Amino acid sequence: VQILLKLWRNGFSLDDGELRSYSDPANAQFLESVKRGEIPLELQRLVHGGQVNLDMEDHQEQEYVKPRLRFKAFSGEGQKLGSLTPEIVSTPSSPEEEEKSILNAPVLIDDSMPATKIQIRLADGSRLIQRFNQTHRIKHIRDFIIQSRPAFATTDFVLVTTFPNKELTDESLTLQEADILNTVILQQLK
- The domain spanning residue 126 has which CATH number? 3.10.20.90
Would 89 be classed as within a structural domain? no
pLDDT < 50: residue spans in the chain: 98-103
Q: Which of 61, 55, 54, 68 is nearest to 10 (CA)?
A: 61
What pLDDT is attached to residue 101? 44
Boundary (domain end) residue, out of 58, 85, 101: 58
Would 94 be classed as within a structural domain? no
Which residues, in sequence order, are bridge partners of residue 157? 189
What pLDDT is attached to residue 19? 92
What pLDDT is attached to residue 102? 43
Would 109 be classed as within a structural domain? no
Direct distance between the N- and C-terminal alpha carbons of the chain, in angstroms, rounded to an integer: 61
Would 160 be classed as within a structural domain? yes
Check the CA dihedral 139-144-150-156 and report its sign: negative
What pLDDT is attached to residue 78? 64
* CATH at residue 12: 3.30.420.210
Would 67 be classed as within a structural domain? no
> Which residue range(s) make up the domain with 156?
115-189
What pLDDT is attached to residue 71? 63
Q: How many CB atoms lie within 10 A of CB 54?
A: 16
CB–CB of 63/8 below 8 Å?
yes
Would 54 be classed as within a structural domain? yes
Q: Which residues, 6 or more positions from 144, have their beta carbon under 8 angstroms from its beta carbon?
A: 105, 107, 120, 128, 130
The model carries a pTM of 0.46
What total of structural domains would you count in the chain?
Answer: 2
Would 152 be classed as within a structural domain? yes
Alpha carbon distances (Å) from 95 to 101, 128, 169: 10, 11, 32
Would 128 be classed as within a structural domain? yes
- CA atoms of 179 and 183, how far apart (whole Å): 9
